[in-house]
Amino acid sequence: MPTVQGTARRAAHHDPNVLRWLGAYTVSAMGDNVYYIALSWAAVQSGTPAQAGIVTAASAVPRALLMLGGGVVADRYGPRRVVLGSSTVRCALVLAAALLLLVTTPGLWALGTVAVLFGVVDAVFLPAAGALPARIADRSQLARVQGMRGLATRLANVLGGPLGGLGIALGGTAGAFGLATLLIGGSLPLLLTVRVGRVPADDRPERRAVLAELRDGLRHIRRDPVLRPLVLTIALGDLGFVGPMNLGLTLLARERGWGTAGLGWVLAGFGIGAGAVSLLLTVRGRVPRAGLVMAPATVAGGVALGALAQVPSVAAAAGVAAAVGVLAGLGGALGSALLQAQAGPAYVGRVTSAATLVSFGAAPLTFPVVGWAAELYGIGTVFAAGAAVCALAGAITLGSAPLRRAELPG
């Protein structure tokens, strides 16, 4: 597999260039968390809970429809340039929402419009952000970079909630949107200092129509014996995981009478587990036989996910959730690292968009199905179904000899 020119061969957690990217990613992710809290709060203030749910889920529709095209944009113009441009537009959109709230009381249509536009920009931003690590670090450091990214995500989730609440408390919803603007905009100076490797001239595809480049990217996935099952495995794992661990967990806490405090403890357990495995990958840097390790981690993570709905107490649920975090975090990080290692340098954006389409686009749209199934068949059935889909993802890995034998670059 060809490499990208210009990346330094050093440990990622000691590389100033990677650390600048990590700082930008962390600040931007915190801004995203604050934005979604502000949007949810504004929507709840303007309508019913059901209407607020529609507004907050509206971003997923354009992501699902446009993300594959966003991968084409990332490969055509380069992930750093696309991340910078789309982050600027995201910042402007959130600032517009803050100003709108300062001068008027916007209705649900106005908030929904902001959410949809944010989702359109996200469809370009997310593939580029996912492709960027492969252009700033040596290929031997991809697992470590995914571990660092996981730690940044956990930190952003932990700090984003309190910051969003603080912004609302001090400045109302407009203040929270303003804080999100500062955080997302604060990532731009750091991103401007990040250096990226150059794709070798021989690997740069001829620029064609967007649909032709998209078909070329999908053909690249289909023809690669590792990428083909890997993209399917990642998509199925996300499909089985996202619904139960988001809406499903809230419904489980309500059914068991755990309350918001109990839900918080369960989420904390998951965060601790996921953070621990991210820290391990950051320190260790490389996992031998990555494909073979990913398969049982994904299957075991599915089993733990199903068990989460069967435990009686908050303490037990938090412990099981920690196991889910460890196993799902390990499988997900290895899958992402293998994806970036295996994709051709000119195709990373398109491959990333195909692999994450379910997680960022399709899976949130399944939340109404999760709620309907929980009401009709019980919350345990929802978790069991999610566990079965995750286990299927692991089985595909085990059944594919090229993926099972896949190694990360040394």
User: Per-residue pLDDT tens for 184-210?
Assistant: 999 999 999 999 877 665 555 566 778
The yes-or-no verdict on residue 374 having pLDDT over 70 is: yes
pLDDT at 9: 62
The yes-or-no verdict on residue 119 having pLDDT over 70 is: yes
The yes-or-no verdict on residue 172 having pLDDT over 50 is: yes
How is residue 252 written in tokens?
């489980």
**CB count in 10 Å sphere of residue 9:** 10
pLDDT at 220: 93
Mean pLDDT for the stretch of residues 43-68: 82
pLDDT at 84: 96
Tokens 């750091």 -> residue: 190
Query: Poorest-confidence range of 62-66, 158-162, 323-327, 375-379?
Result: 158-162
pLDDT at 1: 43
pLDDT at 248: 87
The yes-or-no verdict on residue 332 having pLDDT over 50 is: yes
**Per-residue confidence at 126, pLDDT binned at 50, 70, 90?**
very high
Strands (E) across 82-134 are located at none
CA distance linking residue 333 with residue 282, whole number of Å: 11
CA distance linking residue 89 with residue 150, whole number of Å: 25
The count of residues in the chain is: 410
Percent of the chain with pLDDT strictly greater than 70: 95
Mean pLDDT for the stretch of residues 26-55: 84
Domains contained in the chain, CATH given:
12-140+152-194 (1.20.1250.20), 210-404 (1.20.1250.20)
pLDDT at 200: 60
CA distance linking residue 232 with residue 60, whole number of Å: 20
Query: Poorest-confidence range of 39-53, 281-295, 384-398?
Result: 39-53
pLDDT at 192: 94
Q: What is the DSSP string of 293-357?
A: HHHHHHHHHHHHHHHTTT--SHHHHHHHHHHHHHHHHHHHHHHHHHHHHHS-GGGHHHHHHHHHH
**Per-residue confidence at 46, pLDDT binned at 50, 70, 90?**
confident
Amino acid, single-letter form, for residue 359: S
Amino acid, single-letter form, for residue 88: T
Mean pLDDT for the stretch of residues 333-347: 90
DSSP state at residue 198 = B
Mean pLDDT for the stretch of residues 147-175: 88
The yes-or-no verdict on residue 6 having pLDDT over 50 is: no
DSSP state at residue 363 = G
Backbone angles phi, psi at 198, to 5 degrees: -95, 140
Contacts of 92 (CB under 8 A, 6+ apart): none
The yes-or-no verdict on residue 2 having pLDDT over 70 is: no
CA distance linking residue 378 with residue 252, whole number of Å: 10
pLDDT at 221: 94
Quote the pTM value: 0.86
